[in-house]
Amino acid sequence: MLKFSLSALLLIATLFGTRSFAAEVRLEEFATGFDKPIFVTGAGDFSGRLFVVEQFTGLIWILQDGVLLPEPFLDIGDRLDTENFDQGLLGLAFHPEFASNERFFVQYTASPEGDSTISEFRVDAANPNRASEESERCVIGPLDRGGRDEHNGGMIAFGPDGMLYMTSGDLARFPPAQDLSTNWGSMLRLDVDTEPATGESYVTPPDNPLVGMDGVSEEAWAWGLRNPWRWSFDRMDGRLFLGDVGQRRIEEIDIIVKGGNYGWSVMEGSDCFDPNSWDVPKPNCASAEMIRPIHEYHQNDIFRDRSVTGGYVYRGADIPDLFGLYVYGDYGSGRMWTLEEIAPDVWENTLLTVVPHFISSFGEDDAGELYLCDYSNGRILKFLPPLPAGMVIGGLAEN
């Protein structure tokens, strides 16, 4: 197997025509000792806490001002089905009014069948650093996956409109993402604050694009997605950036809009193909309504680009050169890039850096500073500005 040093990877990237760099950054270990961390986030309450999600243990840990607290915030390991790599505790979202109502939401694959579930929990009344595991209230699901345990998506987040958004994968089969009667391969939008008139745990917002249509999922906000693993709202303008993991060729970054159809499973990225024969192009498969990615890249063996990890538009204060740029990466290669909108709907992709880690997720703290989950080594890394030339961090001289 070919192995490259960090400097060699950067050189190869330059030779292959990727512009370097949009901004100079360094990543510093912020915390370690986690078991397969797949998400990190602040709670929006400016308490100085970061919450780290472990995929297979079902644990959520608290970092208080960078210090790991001895007891987990939440433990639902006994409620998970974790037989497949795509399963486990996958998503965490704090209510916009968490500081006062202490409500938060998780998405996980429920035991014993691995069905997709979103549940609400509340903080323990006696301890603000512990959740009440008995407070669980199922919001949506368990959604019967018919025994299919791949492509679970798993991200949940509140939008600037106060609605709860969630994504589900396509069950690794065809053609659910184009079948509007199902929730698979879609982004859903739910109102979890309005009291429903029926026995449901949420209300479908009346301005969802399919409301009032027969035979469709009225919860759907957008569709045509394959395995939307990580996505985020720009905290300044509210745009929703999503990384959709490709099948065999193309990884893509999309901006999700109301009623958007992103092409899967008749398109992968901007390419058309016959889903029954992956190597056979199928010209003119897409309608004008199918939305193309703002950026895509091909899987390859040289860099080991295999699976896009969607990130964030940086809105922190620590790294001025990064401000306003969308940062994302590839799980397999450890390469990270930025996207900059240099003109309306014109995006420039630039190599940011390469790290020797499996990038399972990015995350923000309450101030908008950026973090990375190192899946392979159980670490949380923080993005920081570069040090003066010649200084050494972790044995690597900073450029």
Structure confidence at residue 387 (pLDDT): 82
Q: Taking Cα atoms as reference points, which of 81, 71, 202, 194 lies closest to residue 147?
A: 81
Q: Does residue 13 have a pLDDT over 60?
A: no
pTM above 0.95, yes or no: no
Distance CA 219, CA 181 (A): 10
Q: Which domains does the chain have, with CATH numbers?
A: 6-397 (2.120.10.30)
Q: Does residue 14 have a pLDDT over 50?
A: no
Q: Does residue 235 have a pLDDT over 80?
A: yes
* pLDDT higher at 315 or 392: 315
The H-or-E segment that residue 13 falls in is: helix 6-15
Q: Does residue 243 have a pLDDT over 90?
A: yes
Tell me the per-residue pLDDT of 209-219, one tens digit each, with 9 for 90 and over: 999 999 999 99
Distance CA 145, CA 278 (A): 24
Structure confidence at residue 174 (pLDDT): 60
Structure confidence at residue 21 (pLDDT): 57
Structure confidence at residue 357 (pLDDT): 85
Distance CA 164, CA 207 (A): 14
112 Cβ neighbours under 8 A, 6+ residues apart: 81
Structure confidence at residue 79 (pLDDT): 83
The H-or-E segment that residue 6 falls in is: helix 6-15
Q: Among 54-58, 141-145, 231-235, 366-370, name the one with the lowest average pLDDT.
A: 141-145
For residue 321, which phi and psi values (nearest 5 degrees)?
-65, -20
Q: Does residue 390 have a pLDDT over 60?
A: no
pLDDT band at 11 (very low <50, low <70, confident <90, very high): very low
Q: Does residue 29 have a pLDDT over 90?
A: yes
Q: Averaging pLDDT over each range in 59-73, 74-88, 193-207, which range is the top one? A: 59-73
pLDDT band at 2 (very low <50, low <70, confident <90, very high): very low
Structure confidence at residue 247 (pLDDT): 82
Structure confidence at residue 274 (pLDDT): 67
pLDDT band at 66 (very low <50, low <70, confident <90, very high): very high
* pLDDT higher at 80 or 255: 255
CA–centroid distance for 280 within its chain: 30
Q: Does residue 172 have a pLDDT over 70?
A: no
For residue 15, which phi and psi values (nearest 5 degrees)?
-65, -30
